[in-house]
Amino acid sequence: MQCRPCAVHWGRRCLLALCLCVSAVSAAAAPPWQERLTNALERIDAMPEGPRIGVYVRALASGESASFRAGQSWYLASAVKVPVAIAVLRGIARGDYQLDTPVTLRADDYVDGAGATNRHAVGAALPIRFLLEQMVIHSDNTASDMLIGLVGLEQVNAVTAEVAPAGFGPITRLAEVRRATYGQLVPAAHRLAGSELLVLRQQRDDSARLQYLARLVQVPVADFRLATLGEAYDAYYATGLNAGRLDAYGELLVQLADGRLLPPAHTRYLLGLMERVVTGSQRIRAGLPAGARFAHKTGTQRGRFCDAGIVQPAAGTRVVVVACTRGALSLARAERALREVGAALCRSGVLTQGVPDAPSCAVRPPALPAAGDADPP
């Protein structure tokens, strides 16, 4: 834009033109949103006693993206429930079953965690609609395993293989996450029943869990292959199960948002469930501008926390954001980092039509934790 001096008597018209000129020059001089965001992510990553972070962001309208360790493999935890939901809804679209089709709860389906499914007895017939709502909105592990049992792991892993063949590790049943983790301590743990997994989770601390596990498998704690439950989780994470690159997960969300993974009605249904998610209220959502809609899914496990979804600002185009943390056991510190990721996303300008540090980007005060936000096992 060419700026020319103007006579004072031009008055308001000249002043308006001058303001427009200054705005245009300032916008041109501002660094791109990717640079602003990356600089902010580096500061978040360097917070004292905070976790290490990985972030992937893509603006859907322009295709522009930003990446911070997004090419590395990250443990996704319950974020894998989005591919599970897609596999189930594909079955519905094919006519294999309907939302009201009942699924029988088996003894082996029980897994610790949030949600209402565990309150039902073995043999209960629970509609797919209920299970999808519990799995996505409340991050219910038992509901997830029931739905995986319905469609089969092959169909679930076919979703991620279609989106990014080399971007994801194998997705497993949620009960197998627990068995595989305890199995790092003692092989007999692979045979634990669902009810035993529930009681293990109810133990007061790691020491009590190890002692109870020893009684279940009839192997002394002294004979376990690893000394602590923390070491068992680290060994489990190293297997690459239920993990993936953040840019690959971002591509999954892009294709979901664009309607390439499900028919339109099923896409709207799943995104509607994701907008109703109650977990992770102090993560990315807490850093977004007021009025922004966020269709997302969280993931929470020992020392691993994620939040991934599609942001629709009140004014502007949709943006995909995927963020995970590792290296800190504290849920509060991890959520603080993820909240700062949301705030940095806004301040970068990508959510505010290119305007950096918009007034709407003020971080809102933390709310009370929602159901399902408890510290992980």
pLDDT in tens, 88-116: 999 999 999 999 999 999 988 989 888 99
Share of the chain above pLDDT 70, in %: 88
pLDDT of residue 374: 43
Average confidence (pLDDT) over 172-183? 96
Rounded Cα distance, 156 and 254, in Å = 18
Helix (H) or strand (E) segment spanning residue 118: none
- Residue-wise burial string across 90-126, b where 16 or more C-beta atoms lie within 10 A, e elsewhere: bbbeeeeeebeeebebeeebbbbbbbebbeeeeeeeb
Taking all residues of the chain, what is their mean pLDDT, rounded to a whole number?
Answer: 89
**Does residue 299 surpass a pLDDT of 80?**
yes
pLDDT of residue 364: 53
294, 321 contact by CB (below 8 A) = no
Token pair in block for residue 137: 């909105």
- Paired with 56 in beta bridges are 67, 322
Give the pTM: 0.88
Distances 256 to 40, 248, 275, 297, 303 between C-alpha atoms, Å? 28, 12, 14, 13, 28
326, 293 contact by CB (below 8 A) = no
